[in-house]
């Protein structure tokens, strides 16, 4: 097929994704739901369709795996089972990709996931002239917590901080644990001032948690904030490098 996409309101997949199993149309001309469909009446002259919903981790439907032909076809129970099996193989690939790009402890994106998502976001910002900012965050004193109170307590700090990050930033922002005690946030369609406001909200939330938990130490952080400049930051790596440098200057000044 030369088509790369079709409007959802006339697509066969728009019907298939609403169900839980295989959706089969042996001959679209004989089906009152599709006989006057533009894709049936005109090119690519669809006659046969079989589609199966594809779910991502957590069960959300992401799309369909489908077979299309310009001739009517019979589709046996065995054929349906094969299509469902193929769909399950694709779903397992989705799961493998997600597990490879998510930090197991915090549930945030890991380094690999962040680099993939953030690079796409920056390309969009460059094309559409949309502002963006990156925050490089380093937790203070996590090593001391691990050494003095144990790694379980250190894990609690990491998970708690990750939860606060998710609440402080928008769903459209890319939030990640870079590794160890380092975190990244890429804010799209946000100025440097708006990013600083988000960091202030994060600090207020942490202050409240520290007071309520009273665990004998405070969760604190140092950060470096960089406004994206497509003329200077040709890659996400360049943006991260500058954020890292600014963070260490802040940390050194605080100490």
Percentage of the chain modeled with pLDDT above 70: 99
Quick check: 4 pLDDT over 90? no
Q: What is the arithmetic mean of pLDDT over 146-164?
A: 96
Assess contact for 106 and 95: CB atoms under 8 A: no
Of the candidates 224, 219, 230, 228, the residue with the CA atom closest to the CA atom of residue 245 = 224
pLDDT confidence bin for 39, thresholds 50/70/90 = confident
- In the prediction, which pLDDT does 98 show? 80
Instruction: Report the range of poorest mean pLDDT among 28-32, 38-42, 93-97.
Output: 93-97
Q: Is the pLDDT of residue 128 over 90?
A: no
**pLDDT over threshold 80, residue 231:** yes
- Quote the pLDDT of residue 255: 66
Strand partners, 64: 53
Distance between CA 81 and CA 75 in Å, rounded?
10
- Top-confidence residue, 71 or 235: 71
How far apart (Å, rounded) are the C-alpha atoms in residues 39 and 28?
Answer: 10
* 3-state DSSP helix/strand/coil % of the chain, to nearest 5: 50, 20, 30
| Catalytic site residue from 173, 181, 218, 229 | 181
Helix (H) or strand (E) holding 69: strand 61-69
The pTM for the full model equals: 0.69
Q: Give the confidence band of 81 by pLDDT, cuts at 50, 70, 90.
A: very high
Quote the DSSP letter at residue 21: S
Model confidence at 177, pLDDT cuts 50, 70, 90, reads very high
Highest mean pLDDT among 123-132, 165-174, 207-216: 207-216
Kindly state the tokens that stand for 216: 């004998």
Q: Is 229 a catalytic residue?
A: no
Res 71 pLDDT > 80 = yes
Q: Quote the pLDDT of residue 8.
A: 79
Asked whether 207 and 103 are in contact (CB, 8 A), the reply is: no
Question: What tokens were used for 114?
Answer: 């962040």
Distance of CA 73 to the CA centre of its chain: 38
Instruction: Quickly list DSSP for 128-143.
Output: HT--EEEEEEEETTHH
Task: Please report the pLDDT score of residue 239 as a whole number.
Answer: 93
- Average pLDDT estimate for 37-65: 91
Which of the given ranges, 42-46, 115-119, 133-137, has the highest pLDDT on average? 133-137
Stretch 19-38: mean pLDDT: 91
Tell me the β-bridge partners of 170: none
Mean pLDDT of 133-150: 95
C-alpha–C-alpha distance, residues 175 and 161, integer Å: 12
Q: What is the mean pLDDT of the chain?
A: 91
Residue 225 has a CB neighbour count (10 Å cut-off) of 22
């Amino acid at each position: 097929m030369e088509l790369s996409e079709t409007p959802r309101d006339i697509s066969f997949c728009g019907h298939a994704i609403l169900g839980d199993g295989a959706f089969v149309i042996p001959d679209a001309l004989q089906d009152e739901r599709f006989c006057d469909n533009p894709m049936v009446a005109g090119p690519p002259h669809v006659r046969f369709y079989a589609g199966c919903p594809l779910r991502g981790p957590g069960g959300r439907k992401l799309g369909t795996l489908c077979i299309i032909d310009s001739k009517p076809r019979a589709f046996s129970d065995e054929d349906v089972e094969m299509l469902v099996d193929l769909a399950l193989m694709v779903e397992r690939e989705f799961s493998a990709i997600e597990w490879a790009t998510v930090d197991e402890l915090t549930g945030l994106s890991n380094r690999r996931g962040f680099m993939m998502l953030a690079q796409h976001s920056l390309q969009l910002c460059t094309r559409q002239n949309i502002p963006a900012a990156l925050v490089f965050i380093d937790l203070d004193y996590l090593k001391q917590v691990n050494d003095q109170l144990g790694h379980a307590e250190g894990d609690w700090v990491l998970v708690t901080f990750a939860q606060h990050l998710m609440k402080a930033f928008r769903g459209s922002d890319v939030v990640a644990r870079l590794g160890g005690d380092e975190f990244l946030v890429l804010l799209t369609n946000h100025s440097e001032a708006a990013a600083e406001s988000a960091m202030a909200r994060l600090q207020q939330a942490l202050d409240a948690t520290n007071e309520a938990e009273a665990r004998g130490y405070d969760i604190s952080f140092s950060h470096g904030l960089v406004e994206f400049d497509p003329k200077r930051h040709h890659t996400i790596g360049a943006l991260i490098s500058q954020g890292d440098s600014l963070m260490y200057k802040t940390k050194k000044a605080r100490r």
